[in-house]
């Protein structure tokens, strides 16, 4: 039976880097945020977004994700409305992907809002990636060419590390990539031991 490992962490924690390393080690990885971006371009989803948010988040009929983000990360009700459109579509997409990868012992479902969305309930094991807050802020400013204020707005909408850690089986501290990769190797060893005895 394939076990689902939920991999999460706050914005800027470097969880996608960790997910990619798991992939290099032979574990299939589904990156929910990347798939959500693709899904947001589908016609039916575009229509739903247009109905709720109007034309202001579109430019020449193309969804302006930066404008949409600015609205939803300042208003939790709007964020919930957006999630109500996106989450069911991502769930369906993941189920199709899962069917293609169910011959593996473990697969990884990577999502920034694993807990906030309730998807953690579908996971057998949960790994949280953490990093010091200042490191996270700097990473996101650099990556997204954004402002500190916008990063903090997004952080406010997510759970705090302390909350995630309490519900996790493993924690990877990602302030140093070499050490973080060693943590991944350790976790894989533990899971393989458990796997052999299950």
The annotation status of 42 as a binding-site residue, yes or no, is no
The annotation status of 156 as a binding-site residue, yes or no, is no
Q: Where are the alpha helices (DSSP H) in the chain?
A: 15-24, 32-39, 43-53, 65-72, 76-100, 133-144, 148-156, 161-166, 177-197
| Structure-block tokens of residue 42 | 């589908």
The annotation status of 168 as a binding-site residue, yes or no, is no
Question: Is residue 102 a contact partner of residue 95, using CB atoms and an 8 Å limit?
Answer: no
CA atoms within 13 A on the CB side of 46: 12
The annotation status of 17 as a binding-site residue, yes or no, is yes
The annotation status of 51 as a binding-site residue, yes or no, is no
CB atoms within 10 A of CB 161: 21
The annotation status of 15 as a binding-site residue, yes or no, is yes
Tokens 């929910």 label which residue? 32
Look at residues 68, 88, 90, 89 and name the one whose alpha carbon lies nearest to residue 79: 68
Residue numbering of the annotated binding site for ATP? 12-17
Binding annotation: 12-17
């Amino acid at each position: 039976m394939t076990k689902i490992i939920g991999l999460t962490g706050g914005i800027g924690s470097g969880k996608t880097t960790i997910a990619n390393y798991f992939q290099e080690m032979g574990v299939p990885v589904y990156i929910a945020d990347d798939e959500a971006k693709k899904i947001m371009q589908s016609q039916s989803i575009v229509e739903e977004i247009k109905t709720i948010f109007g034309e202001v988040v579109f430019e020449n009929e193309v969804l302006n994700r930066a404008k949409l983000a600015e609205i939803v990360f300042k208003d939790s009700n709007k964020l919930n409305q957006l999630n109500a459109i996106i989450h069911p579509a991502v769930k369906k997409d993941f189920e199709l992907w899962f069917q293609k990868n169910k011959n593996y012992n473990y697969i990884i479902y990577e999502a920034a809002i694993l807990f906030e969305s309730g998807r953690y309930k579908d996971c057998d094991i949960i790994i949280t990636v953490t990093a010091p807050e200042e490191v996270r802020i700097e990473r996101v400013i650099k990556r997204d060419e954004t402002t500190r204020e916008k990063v903090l707005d997004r952080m406010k909408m997510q759970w705090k590390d302390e909350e995630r850690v309490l519900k996790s089986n493993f924690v990877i501290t990602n302030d140093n990539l070499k050490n973080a990769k060693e943590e991944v190797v350790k976790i894989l060893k533990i899971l393989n031991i458990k796997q052999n005895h299950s």
